[in-house]
Amino acid sequence: MIFGPFKLILRIISLVISIVIIYFAVTFVQVWLTGHEHSTRHAQAILVFGTTEDNGTPSPELRARLDQALALWHKDRAPWIAVTGGKRPGDQFTEAGVSATYLEGKGVPSSKILVGAGTNTWQNVATVVPKLAAQHITTVLTVTDPFHEDRAMAISSSQGLTPFPSPVRNSPTVKHSLWKYYLKETFGVGIGRIIGYGRFSSWFD
């Protein structure tokens, strides 16, 4: 009988661990599936999430996202493009500014580009939401890397937008240690759902 409480504690610990494993396994599958879903819906704007720029020019990863946005825009899937992303340490240019310049060079009128900022996913959305609201925009096609699509959509939704997935098909990022990115995003989505994406972004993103 003396070992009874210890067995109960072990069973409880085992149950909790099992629940956690199942929870993150299901989350991983959801992140993976969302990253391979391409909506055919039209929206009011295309929301491009920022990533690194290279001294005033888009990095290959950012260019892939912008080219995806351009393809959607030319197909009349949305009349507006919103770009996001701020400065990293040592940068002279913002990701959003570089993105806007790139799109203008490809023929998108500056009057149809909304420029945000932000150094993480939550801030990316938060900085552009007021500008979207000023144009009465609530539906967006979210353009980012496949592994990031689920969290990007969740954060967009939590800030009042209705997102539809449009993950980049040919991002250079997917060629390098892709499993690490999916594991990171599984953790981000799993924890973000529990504590809130805004709090998660301020702590980890």
Per-residue pLDDT of the chain (205 residues; tens, 9 = 90+): 555 677 888 889 999 999 999 999 999 999 999 999 999 999 999 999 999 999 999 999 999 999 999 999 999 999 999 999 999 888 899 999 999 999 999 999 999 999 999 999 999 999 999 999 999 999 999 999 999 999 999 999 999 999 999 999 888 876 667 888 999 999 999 999 999 999 888 877 7
Nearest to 34 by CA among 141, 142, 150: 150
**Domain contains 6:** no
Total domains in the chain come to 1
Contact 115, 85 (CB under 8 A): no
**Domain contains 25:** no
Q: Is 162 helix (H, G, I), strand (E, B) or coil?
A: strand
Question: What is the amino acid identity at position 190?
Answer: G
**Domain contains 139:** yes
Name residue, tokens 């909506």.
39
Q: Region of 196 please: left (phi>0), alpha (psi -120 to 50) or beta.
A: left
Give me the domain span that covers residue 104.
34-203
* pTM of this structure: 0.91
**Domain contains 175:** yes
Say how many CA atoms lie within 13 Å of 97 toward its Cβ: 10
